[in-house]
Amino acid sequence: MIMKKIHNILYGKETYEISIPKDVSELSAISNIQVVTCGFNSKGEQLRAPRVVRVGLFQHQHPVSTVTPIKETRDALFKLAREAIELAFKGGVNIFCFQEAWNMPFAFCTREKSPWCEYAESAEHGPTTLFLAELAKRYNMVIISPILERDDLHCETIWNTAVVIDNHGDYLGKHRKNHIPRVGDFNESTYYLEGNTGHPVFETDYGKIAINICYGRHHPLNWLGFGINGAEIVFNPSATVGKLSEPLWGIEARNAAIANGYFTCAINRVGTEIFPNEFTSGNGKPAHKDFGHFYGSSYVAAPNGSRSPGLSRTKNGLLIAELDLNLCRQVKDHWGFQMTQRLEMYADLLRSAIAPEFIPQVIRKRDIKQNKGCSGKTQ
Amino acid sequence: MIMKKIHNILYGKETYEISIPKDVSELSAISNIQVVTCGFNSKGEQLRAPRVVRVGLFQHQHPVSTVTPIKETRDALFKLAREAIELAFKGGVNIFCFQEAWNMPFAFCTREKSPWCEYAESAEHGPTTLFLAELAKRYNMVIISPILERDDLHCETIWNTAVVIDNHGDYLGKHRKNHIPRVGDFNESTYYLEGNTGHPVFETDYGKIAINICYGRHHPLNWLGFGINGAEIVFNPSATVGKLSEPLWGIEARNAAIANGYFTCAINRVGTEIFPNEFTSGNGKPAHKDFGHFYGSSYVAAPNGSRSPGLSRTKNGLLIAELDLNLCRQVKDHWGFQMTQRLEMYADLLRSAIAPEFIPQVIRKRDIKQNKGCSGKTQ
């Protein structure tokens, strides 16, 4: 009883266990992918049937050495992806999402361009998209594939991009990471700049989804953008390491779910990636060859603030969560955050804040006294 | 070792114990106010001396029955306030903040206007401000006093307002609650509407401070507004009950500290307040006379994501936290969230979102197909 109360305070309303066929656990053992499941409760409505979907969050270690040739690396990643997607299919997953830059080592710590830039591919018809399109069609599954994108249309520039493939195997669209870090070993702006695709929401057979890539989770405005455009589930494919961000991990995506009335799905890489050449981290410490530990811990948060258990900090894992998308509107109606958010006031504030001559609203005693001296009026 | 690691993951970087004179614990026992202390670590800098300040967060039960006459209630509240402020002074507090509407029962559940509206006072020279101004001067302490405000200048309207009194005993300014709830028993819009004072930051001898009142903590834009105007500490005086918001309590103010690079101080009422006449809660349940349990649990969060222990869920308490305000800029330099926040893009987005003819950015297959049909181009 007391444990239940503590659980509710820390993690919100209880979730339920969802039924998964037996062969999922068999397959899970064979492929060495830990499976965790979780369902979120919602209320019945008179005019809408429940809109229940299952999402699959897949976190994985880079399966080969970082010096493995690119084609061989891709083969190993595709093999792993196929296993995870089959497992997800057997677990009833409708929308599947990989971690950030899932099809390569997370090499941005090195600041080396070669060979890492060679991993970049066309979002529309690169080998990863073509490979996943086939699986998406076969398994009737929407697949979100965060990759390093090569934009052949625009000077061959590189982007950090999430590709959305629909459950008919068709390319639906892409979103480019809006906020790019310059912190620790996250030297990503050496490779690509801030995304230019806005805050697209993808209307799929399984609901309206969006993708907030990695560092964008630190930006409440980025989350808000997807909310404004009507997202019901926002995926946050990430690659982040323990020392930097772990105390923030359980807070940010969950806060976004609460504030915006949608589900959030936070996915992190797992394991330690070691690179061939040493590099420094801008922290005064000696040169070294590894990025630090990607701590996994992927989880789902609901608009009412409840959250799922997390996946492991060290192992490959698939989190299967059952969501009734009707919960989004139910929570919005209950709390009223959207109704009371006063966007007009903030549109004005942001507009004035970006002006070079911006004067912050600061109340100082000396200003009050001066006003008194001049006109006899107080502020 | 393992416990330390878990602590760091859940609560961020370790805090330290601060030294408090012996007579604080004696006085704490006499006045029945639990004292908890906590200090946050920062780094030394070459060009700035540490700017260490102590904040005092005071949470209290309404000390008398809700039917006690107003003058008598005020006397009891003033007595309690005096004890708490003396305790804070002995503990070295520089900035002291009460809970929301601290000078009255939280009667907005009743929807009755009488006698509750009689608690409203002038922010500038009402009895509560005059009473606290004397203590502020005597103890060289900035005091934040969230009250029900009567605006005599403008048609005697009522507001939910935080008054800032500086450490010289002078009225510095006020802030009116920006976001007003319409949920559960929080029938506040029956009494007052959305605040019209923007997002003021008060420059005091102890740093730049702001106040995000209660329900405003659910609004990331409200927190952002105070950040844009340069706040270093944002207080969140609240009155919120267990069933409604407790799983959200540890998340929201902490997320705001991380996202905006300032300290946040979340203060909640304590106890259960019982009213003379029964009322309903808009949830189909029978009429009743109490608001539910205000769960206290006041805490401080730092810009690096670490947090203090919480005060009790049931008792009067004073949380004394020592903060080096230099930490704010240190964390901003480290993480770069402000540098990378792209306000211009969001100013445009918010401006377009409020238009009646707003078209959300939604990507649908049928639109792509239509585009193909017309021009042969994909989106």
SS3 letters for A203-259? EECCEEEEECCHHHHHCHHHHHHHHHCCCCEEEEECCCEHHHHHHHHHHHHHHHHHH
Is A198 in the B-facing interface, judged by CB distances under 8 Å? Answer: yes
Read off the pLDDT of residues B39-96 as tens digits, 9 standing for 90 and up: 999 999 999 999 999 999 999 999 999 999 999 999 999 999 999 999 999 999 999 9
Among candidates A11, A198, A340 on the partner chain, residue whose Cβ is nearest the Cβ of B180: A340
CATH topology of domain A2-335: Nitrilase/N-carbamoyl-D-aminoacid amidohydrolase (3.60.110)
In chain B, residues with a C-beta closer than 8 Å to the C-beta of A230 are: 360, 362
Cα(A241)–Cα(A185) distance, rounded to whole angstroms? Answer: 10
- Hey, are the CB atoms on B218 and A335 less than 8 Å from each other? yes
Interhelix angle B242-260/A2-11, rounded to 10 degrees, is 40
Identified catalytic residue from B121, B177, B188, B328 = B177
A149 beta partners: A121, A159
Quick check: is A322 catalytic? no
Instruction: Label residue A239 left, alpha or beta by phi (over 0 means left) and psi (-120 to 50 means alpha).
Output: beta
pLDDT reading at B375 higher than 80: no
Cα(B320)–Cα(B322) distance, rounded to whole angstroms? Answer: 7
Is B202 in the A-facing interface, judged by CB distances under 8 Å? Answer: yes
Average pLDDT over residues A14-24: 92
Is B223 in the A-facing interface, judged by CB distances under 8 Å? Answer: yes
Is B176 in the A-facing interface, judged by CB distances under 8 Å? Answer: no
Among candidates A183, A250, A306 on the partner chain, residue whose Cβ is nearest the Cβ of B247: A306
- Hey, are the CB atoms on A247 and B10 less than 8 Å from each other? yes
pLDDT reading at A11 higher than 60: yes
Average pLDDT over all residues of chain B: 95
Q: Give the DSSP H or E segment for B367.
A: helix B365-375
Query: Quick one: CATH architecture of B14-330?
Result: 4-Layer Sandwich (3.60)
**pLDDT attached to residue A366:** 83
Cα(A246)–Cα(A250) distance, rounded to whole angstroms? Answer: 8
Identified catalytic residue from B214, B232, B265, B322 = B214
Q: Where are the alpha helices (DSSP H) in chain A?
A: 2-11, 22-31, 70-90, 127-139, 220-228, 242-260, 326-335, 343-353, 365-375
ipTM exceeds 0.90, yes or no: yes
CA-to-CA dists, residue B183 to A10, B187, B296, angstroms: 22, 7, 19
CA-to-CA dists, residue A253 to A68, A259, A325, angstroms: 34, 10, 17
- Hey, are the CB atoms on A247 and B11 less than 8 Å from each other? yes
B324 beta partners: B52
Helix (H) and strand (E) counts for chain B? 9, 16
- Which regions of B92-232 does DSSP assign to beta strands (E)? 95-97, 142-151, 157-165, 171-176, 201-204, 207-211
Is A17 in the B-facing interface, judged by CB distances under 8 Å? Answer: no
**pLDDT attached to residue A372:** 61
pLDDT reading at A378 higher than 50: no
> What distance in Å separates residue B361's CA from the closest CA in chain A?
5
Average pLDDT over residues A214-230: 98
pLDDT reading at A226 higher than 70: yes
CA angle A250, A251, A257 (to 5 degrees): 105
Where are the CATH 3.60.110.10 domain residues in chain A? 2-335
CA-to-CA dists, residue A361 to A223, B202, B258, angstroms: 26, 9, 22
Average pLDDT over residues B278-306: 96
- Hey, are the CB atoms on B305 and A351 less than 8 Å from each other? no
Is B355 in the A-facing interface, judged by CB distances under 8 Å? Answer: no
> What distance in Å separates residue A68's CA from the closest CA in chain B?
32
- Hey, are the CB atoms on B219 and A259 less than 8 Å from each other? yes
Average pLDDT over residues A26-52: 96
Among candidates A181, A306, A365 on the partner chain, residue whose Cβ is nearest the Cβ of B166: A365
Read off the pLDDT of residues A82-135 as tens digits, 9 standing for 90 and up: 999 999 999 999 999 999 999 999 999 999 999 999 999 999 999 999 999 999
Nearest residue in B to A14, CA atom: B247
A61 burial (CB, 10 Å; 0-12 / 13-18 / 19+) is middle
CA-to-CA dists, residue B67 to A266, B63, B70, B113, angstroms: 49, 12, 8, 14
Q: Residues A337, A106: contact at Cβ < 8 Å?
A: no
Among candidates B166, B208, B254 on the partner chain, residue whose Cβ is nearest the Cβ of A251: B254
- Hey, are the CB atoms on B363 and A172 less than 8 Å from each other? yes
- Asked whether the CA dihedral B280, B285, B290, B295 is positive or negative, the reply is negative
For chain B, percent of residues with pLDDT exceeding 70:
97
Quick check: is A100 catalytic? yes
Question: Mean pLDDT lowest for which of A164-178, B6-20, B108-122, B296-310?
Answer: B6-20
Where are the CATH 3.60.110.10 domain residues in chain B? 14-330
Among B244, B293, B241, B299, which residue's Cα sits nearest to residue B266?
Answer: B299
In chain A, residues with a C-beta closer than 8 Å to the C-beta of B194 are: 340, 342
Cα(A125)–Cα(A131) distance, rounded to whole angstroms? Answer: 10
Quick check: is B43 catalytic? no
**pLDDT attached to residue A376:** 39
Instruction: Label residue B198 left, alpha or beta by phi (over 0 means left) and psi (-120 to 50 means alpha).
Output: left
- Hey, are the CB atoms on B354 and A363 less than 8 Å from each other? no
> What distance in Å separates residue B78's CA from the closest CA in chain A?
26
Read off the pLDDT of residues B187-220 as tens digits, 9 standing for 90 and up: 999 999 999 999 999 999 999 999 999 999 999 9
Q: Which amino acid is at A291?
A: F
Choose between B378 and A318: higher pLDDT. A318
Nearest residue in B to A283, CA atom: B334
Which residues lie below 8 Å from residue B80, measured CB to CB, with a gap of 6+? B60, B63, B316
**pLDDT attached to residue B371:** 66
- Hey, are the CB atoms on A340 and B229 less than 8 Å from each other? no
- Hey, are the CB atoms on B221 and A223 less than 8 Å from each other? no
Read off the pLDDT of residues B123-149 as tens digits, 9 standing for 90 and up: 999 999 999 999 999 999 999 999 999
- Hey, are the CB atoms on B247 and A342 less than 8 Å from each other? no
Cα(A245)–Cα(A97) distance, rounded to whole angstroms? Answer: 21
* Test mutation, A251, A337, A379, chain B, max B CBs within 10 A: A251
In chain A, residues with a C-beta closer than 8 Å to the C-beta of B344 are: 354
At residue A274, the 3 state secondary structure works out as strand
Nearest residue in B to A334, CA atom: B183
pLDDT reading at B379 higher than 80: no
Partner B, chain A 66-125, Cβ-Cβ below 8 Å: 124
Q: Residues B269, B239: contact at Cβ < 8 Å?
A: yes
In chain B, residues with a C-beta closer than 8 Å to the C-beta of A282 are: none
Among candidates A8, A251, A363 on the partner chain, residue whose Cβ is nearest the Cβ of B173: A363
Cα(B151)–Cα(B124) distance, rounded to whole angstroms? Answer: 10
Which residues lie below 8 Å from residue A326, measured CB to CB, with a gap of 6+? A42, A43, A45, A48, A50, A51
What tokens were used for B160?
Answer: 């939910």
Partner A, chain B 295-354, Cβ-Cβ below 8 Å: 305-306, 334-337, 339-347, 349-351, 353-354
Average pLDDT over residues B266-272: 98
- Hey, are the CB atoms on B202 and A362 less than 8 Å from each other? yes
How many CB atoms are closer than 10 A to CB A202?
24
**pLDDT attached to residue B243:** 82
